[in-house]
């Protein structure tokens, strides 16, 4: 899954010895208005105050396909979907939909006795799938198109796998050296939280100690805590350790915990009811952006005010699997969802046709699918990211799919997030995705970055439209969101090019050339 955790970004910044100071984002900025509040939020508050004040709405079910959502969170418990035809805990499939006790949704990555937490990246699974068959094969001996196609997939996955593993090991080794140097320097002072003068007394004996002194000095000069810095570095170390031991380890395969026949792509009825987790940070954050209870004096206000969140857990700490994605989409459609949010993505999709079939099914049932473009600062017109709106071996595009890039509140970033994927053809629109404050488990709140946050902002806007204008189809809702997006006419930083400061028009980065805005979308819906 293309996630950019704060500690990973920090670790990389430390690696290149970049000193930075982070300005605080305006509170709940993604709901603010470009004109009145001077930040490119989506004008949620203005839409409710000026356009929707006396207008009635109908509840809309939004499926959040993610890593789990804490259904008991104080700011979400009143907006979680409840399957009224199912009786919790009786061990009976009351509604005869094939899933026992699915009161709030379903987890496709759990079994009778355990849940999948860590898993491989998809490139690792593809590498493992074909390694024994094709690692030493002579391509000229292959007889069938299918074998040649498999060999091509294997060689692509092998190159990506070996390159990523080498890079992750290099970063792990770097952070480990830095971590040990910081601990050594701090220990030499005899204090848990030494001051700047006490750090500078130490004489460095190698490049890592020199870097550690600079990092500690930079932290202390900005009012930071030594122990917080150590925790940050340790977090980065743990991330890369997990990456090497689980995500990039072909000998690790936790799928047996689920208990399905993984090779049977038609199999639907497996999993468990553990929709809140084990790890529900990401999904809880996503759900909060869409629908956290508005005006209840708790936490945040979600974008949509008459929504029920259906929870579907398919995303582990690693890459989601095509079979689970397809089944979660079908579950959402069959149980009444009109919008599906998918804040995940990967570089390989070995069973894309299975996912495509589920997507086509959703389209046929008038369901709008909203997907995060990804956080690798790459051009999706040139590089692939899955799932996507282009069907396998076809030029046909999904008419009810919105691909979302991430925008920023910071003017110096000229509205684009430096990490966001983009594409003049394959990304539809941008939405707030930097410093987004939302719910996390245990009734807490935190700020996350990512197109994972931009997609639910857009899903929230779509939910407002389908709630207040229920006659709108999925395709019409998409058209309104793109047509009403606020065009940003100044040049913006091209994602990934911050150091070079390369600037382009936003219309060069996405289809609409704009940033999602619910006020303008509602105004357009009223006209139509």
Domains recognised in the chain with CATH numbers: 24-115+264-527 (3.40.50.200), 122-247 (no CATH)
Q: Looking at residue 105, what is its pLDDT?
A: 98
Q: What is the rounded distance in angstroms from the CA atom of residue 406 to the CA atom of residue 449? A: 9
Q: What is the rounded distance in angstroms from the CA atom of residue 380 to the CA atom of residue 373? A: 8
Query: Residue 422's CB: how many other CB atoms inside 10 A?
Result: 29
C-alpha distances out from residue 122 to 1, 328, 347, 520, Å? 9, 18, 7, 39
3-class SS of residue 148: helix
pLDDT > 90 fraction of the chain, expressed in percent and rounded: 87
Residues forming a β-bridge with 406: 431
pLDDT in tens, 20-40: 445 688 889 999 999 999 889
Q: Looking at residue 11, what is its pLDDT?
A: 44
Under 8 Å between Cβ of 309 and 78: no
Mean pLDDT, range 131-146, rounded to an integer = 91
163, pLDDT greater than 60? yes
Q: Looking at residue 500, what is its pLDDT?
A: 64
463, pLDDT greater than 80? yes
C-alpha distances out from residue 56 to 17, 52, 464, Å? 54, 8, 11
DSSP 244: I
pTM: 0.93
Q: What is the rounded distance in angstroms from the CA atom of residue 141 to the CA atom of residue 487? A: 55
Under 8 Å between Cβ of 525 and 469: yes
Under 8 Å between Cβ of 368 and 470: no
Q: What is the rounded distance in angstroms from the CA atom of residue 284 to the CA atom of residue 231? A: 23
Report strand pairing: 444-448 vs 339-342. Answer: unpaired
165, pLDDT greater than 80? yes
What does pLDDT average to over the chain? 93
pLDDT in tens, 370-417: 999 999 999 999 999 999 999 998 888 899 999 999 999 976 555 899
499, pLDDT greater than 90? no
């Amino acid at each position: 899954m293309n996630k950019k955790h704060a500690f990973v970004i920090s670790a990389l910044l430390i690696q290149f010895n970049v000193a930075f100071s982070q300005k605080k984002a305006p509170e709940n900025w993604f709901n603010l208005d470009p004109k009145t509040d001077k930040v490119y939020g989506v004008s949620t508050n203005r839409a409710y105050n000026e356009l929707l004040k006396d207008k009635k709405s109908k509840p809309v079910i939004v499926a959040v396909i993610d890593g789990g959502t804490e259904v008991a969170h104080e700011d979400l418990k009143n907006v979680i979907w409840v399957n009224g035809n199912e009786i919790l805990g009786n061990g009976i499939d009351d509604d005869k939909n094939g899933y026992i006790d699915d009161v709030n949704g379903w987890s496709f990555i759990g079994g009778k006795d355990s849940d999948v937490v860590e898993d491989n990246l998809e490139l690792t699974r593809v590498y493992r799938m074909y390694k024994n068959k094709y690692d030493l094969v002579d391509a000229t001996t292959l007889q069938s198109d299918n074998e040649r196609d498999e060999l091509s997939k294997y060689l692509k996955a092998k190159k990506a796998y070996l390159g990523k593993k080498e890079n992750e090991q290099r970063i792990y080794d770097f952070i480990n050296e830095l971590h040990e140097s910081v601990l050594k320097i701090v220990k030499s002072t005899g204090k848990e939280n030494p001051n700047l003068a006490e750090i500078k007394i130490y004489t460095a004996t190698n490049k890592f100690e020199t870097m550690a002194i600079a990092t500690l000095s930079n932290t202390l000069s900005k009012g930071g805590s030594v122990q917080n810095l150590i925790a940050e570095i340790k977090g980065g170390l743990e991330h890369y350790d997990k990456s090497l031991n689980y995500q990039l380890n072909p000998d690790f395969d936790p799928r047996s915990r689920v208990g399905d026949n993984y090779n049977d792509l038609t199999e639907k009825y497996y999993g468990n009811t553990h929709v809140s987790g084990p790890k529900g940070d990401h999904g809880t954050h996503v759900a909060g952006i869409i629908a956290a209870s508005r005006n209840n004096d708790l936490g945040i206000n979600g974008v949509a005010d008459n929504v029920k969140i259906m929870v579907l857990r398919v995303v582990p700490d690693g890459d989601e699997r095509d079979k689970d994605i397809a089944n979660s989409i079908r579950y959402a459609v069959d149980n009444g969802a009109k919008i599906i949010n998918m804040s995940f993505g990967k570089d390989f999709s070995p069973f894309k046709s299975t996912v495509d079939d589920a997507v086509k099914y959703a389209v046929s049932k008038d369901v709008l699918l909203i997907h995060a473009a990804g956080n690798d600062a790459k051009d999706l017109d040139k590089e692939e990211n899955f799932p996507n709106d282009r069907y396998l071996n076809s030029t046909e595009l999904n008419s009810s799919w919105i691909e979302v890039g991430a925008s920023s509140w910071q003017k110096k970033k000229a509205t684009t997030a430096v990490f966001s994927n983009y594409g003049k053809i394959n990304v539809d629109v941008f939405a707030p995705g930097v410093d987004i404050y939302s719910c996390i488990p245990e009734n807490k709140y935190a700020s996350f970055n990512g197109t994972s946050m931009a997609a639910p902002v857009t899903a929230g806007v779509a939910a407002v439209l389908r709630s207040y204008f229920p006659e709108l189809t999925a395709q019409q809702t998409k058209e309104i969101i793109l047509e009403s997006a606020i065009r940003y006419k100044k040049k913006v930083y091209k994602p990934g090019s911050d150091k070079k400061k390369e600037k382009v028009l936003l219309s060069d980065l996405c289809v609409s050339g704009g940033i999602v805005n619910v006020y303008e979308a509602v105004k357009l819906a009223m006209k139509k």
